[in-house]
Amino acid sequence: MESTKLRRRALAVGTATVAVGALAIAGLTGVASADPAATSAPPVSADSLSPGMLDALERDLGLDADAARSRIANEYRAAAVAAGLEKSLGASFAGARVSGAKAALTVATTDASEAARITDAGARAEVVGNSLDRLEGVKKTLDKAALNKAPKNVPVWYVDVASNKVVVNAASTAAGQAFLKAAGVDSSLVTVAESAEQPRALADIRGGDAYYMNGSGRCSVGFSVTRGTQGGFATAGHCGRVGTTTNGVNQQAQGTFQGSTFPGRDIAWVATNANWTPRPLVNGYGRGDVTVAGSTASVVGASVCRSGSTTGWHCGTIQQLNTSVTYPEGTISGVTRTSVCAEPGDSGGSYISGSQAQGVTSGGSGNCSSGGTTYFQPINPLLQAYGLTLVTSGGGTPTDPPTTPPTDSPGGTWAAGTAYAAGATVTYGGATYRCLQAHTAQPGWNPADAPALWQRV
């Protein structure tokens, strides 16, 4: 059964307009937001991209310095245009992607009459049969089925905007078809692709620096954050639970996990002691530190680089957004699939496009010798879940989030900030739910919207 939600797009059908700032020929400039409420990329000079990032893009994507700067400028512009078109197209929006050396933007719609609007905004229009909402509804149904029973030999599924289908990667066609049948989804909207992927959480244990958990195990710092006056960093949930202590790259006492969710999501944050000062930097591993200027999310096809304490800097492209992946520990939803390699110990490390933070390393398959596929948890939902502020350049102190996040509850006993054990029951919105995974509740992870954590009874 498909579940279709128009979400934010339905609020702006026919009302939003696309406004894109000019891109200076001499270098990168800022991009005006397509929506006043959206996050816009701050002005970026041609010299702001670190030599380390340019070197990595040349090594992994075959781009020289000029081509790398040009591509990143086009990707910034594409992100702004895509965000504006998503709102203005409303229910007919069917996804966006960039392709080619110049990162040309394609925006899909189910309504042929909207093609001119897309073209006028500077993108290539593509008319398809399925809206993004429809395909995401199918994926949500698959997510719910996986919660009830983890699919055997089906490691990954996602919405593929290029093919306008949901793609299920499975060890065999039969395994993929069995998953579709169990979920009860319309198979005409799904492509089953055979895959040898065996993803796992990369928990062998500045962004990208190593840290150590409870004296054993190593992961990598994602991005510096603050919550009120408290400093810390974002990382992966599978690296530690609430209360896990950490030592830093220098093996000195560092901090404690304050929030952690895994599986379901793979997000966490660590509050650090006064000896550690959060900086808007990602370790370039011998190529110069990369400055974090913001967190504008990139689109499918955009270049992205990862920093981790095992393999350092590696780059690739974003393949799909909003992917679900099953590790041995359970299914993770909402991750971004990439062609960037990673290895154990890189978990939690930084994914960044240009100067824009993208997410924290979750897991993957393969390695950095033969290549692989990895997944990252997007940074913006992580920040929102824990009421955090990303530490960025630009001078001044970032705006602090509320000291106490809202409970996000329409009545009942469930409340954000409460630690729940597996088997615990709560009421929410007039219904009763049973806890499936021990966790500390976070804003936005209420029982009705977090099927990986709660089951209605």
| Catalytically active residues, by annotation | 238, 266, 347
Which contiguous run of DSSP H or E holds residue 87? helix 65-89
Distance CA 37, CA 49 (A): 27
Distances, alpha carbon 84 to alpha carbons 33, 87, 89, 131, in Å: 8, 5, 9, 16
Q: How far apart are CA 241 and CA 256, in angstroms?
A: 9
Q: Which long-range contacts (CB under 8 A, 24 or more apart) does 446-450 make?
A: 446/408, 446/409, 446/414, 447/414, 450/264
Give which of 236, 234, 370, 269 is closest to 314, Cα–Cα. 370
Residues found in the chain:
457
Distance CA 352, CA 223 (A): 10
- SS3 of residue 232 by DSSP: strand
Sequence-distant (6+) residues with CB within 8 A of 174 are none
Residues with Cβ within 8 Å of residue 100, at least 6 apart in sequence:
none
Count of C-beta atoms within a 10 Å radius of residue 394: 12
DSSP states of 309-365: TTTEEEEEEEEEEEEEEEETTEEEEEEEEES----TT-TT-EEEETTEEEEEEEEEE
